[in-house]
Structure 1
Amino acid sequence: MRPPTLGRSGWLRAGPATVLAITVAVGALITFGLRPPATPTPDAPTVRGTPAPALSGATLDGGRFVLAEARGEVVLVNVFASWCGPCRDELPLLVDVERSWSPRGLRLVGLNIRDGTDAVRALLEETGATGLTVVPDPDGTRAVEWGVRGVPETFVVGRDGRLVDRRQGVVTRQWLEQRIAPLLAG
Structure 2
Amino acid sequence: MRRPTLRRPGWLRTGPAAVLALTVAVGTLAALGLRAPATPAAEEAPTVTGAPAPALSGTTLDGGQFALSDARGQVVLVNVFASWCGPCREELPLLVDAERSWSPRGLRLVGLNIRDGTEAVRALLDETGATGLTVVPDPDGTRAVQWGVRGVPETFVVGRDGRLVDRRQGVVTRQWLEQRIAPLLAG
What letter matches 1:134 in structure 2?
A: V
**Structure 2 residue aligned with 1:63:** 64
Q: Which consecutive unaligned segments of at least 5 residues does structure 1 have?
A: 1-44
**Structure 2 residue aligned with 1:94:** 95
What letter matches 1:163 in structure 2?
A: L
3-state SS of the aligned residue for 2:101? helix
Q: 1:112 and 1:94 mapped to 2: Cα distance?
A: 14
**Structure 2 residue aligned with 1:17:** none
**Structure 2 residue aligned with 1:127:** 128
What is the root-mean-square deviation in Å for CA atoms of aligned residues? 0.7
What letter matches 2:133 in structure 1?
A: L
3-state SS of the aligned residue for 1:62? coil
Runs of 4+ in 1 over 3 A off after TM superposition: none
**Structure 1 residue aligned with 2:84:** 83
Normalising to structure 2: TM-score of the pair? 0.75
3-state SS of the aligned residue for 1:109? strand
3-state SS of the aligned residue for 1:145? helix
3-state SS of the aligned residue for 1:183? helix
Deviation at 1:46, TM superposition (A): 2.0
Q: 1:143 and 1:47 mapped to 2: Cα distance?
A: 16
Superimposed CA distance per residue, residues 45-68 of structure 1 (whole angstroms, 9 cap, x where no aligned partner): 723110000000000000000000
Normalising to structure 1: TM-score of the pair? 0.76
- Is 1:110 the counterpart of 2:111? The answer is yes
**Structure 2 residue aligned with 1:175:** 176
Q: 2:182 and 2:71 mapped to 1: Cα distance?
A: 18
What letter matches 1:106 in structure 2?
A: L
Percent identity between matched residues is 91
Aligned pairs, how many? 142
Q: 1:139 and 1:147 mapped to 2: Cα distance?
A: 14
3-state SS of the aligned residue for 1:171? coil
Q: 1:50 and 1:182 mapped to 2: Cα distance?
A: 19
User: Larger radius of gyration, structure 1 or 2?
Assistant: 2
Counterpart mapping for 1:148-159 below 5 A: 148-159=149-160
**Structure 2 residue aligned with 1:30:** none
3-state SS of the aligned residue for 1:93? helix
Q: 1:143 and 1:172 mapped to 2: Cα distance?
A: 22
Superimposed CA distance per residue, residues 123-174 of structure 1 (whole angstroms, 9 cap, x where no aligned partner): 0000000000000000000000000000000000000000000000000000
Q: Which consecutive unaligned segments of at least 5 residues does structure 2 have?
A: 1-45
Q: 1:117 and 1:147 mapped to 2: Cα distance?
A: 23
3-state SS of the aligned residue for 1:108? strand
**Structure 2 residue aligned with 1:166:** 167
Deviation at 1:183, TM superposition (A): 0.3
**Structure 2 residue aligned with 1:145:** 146
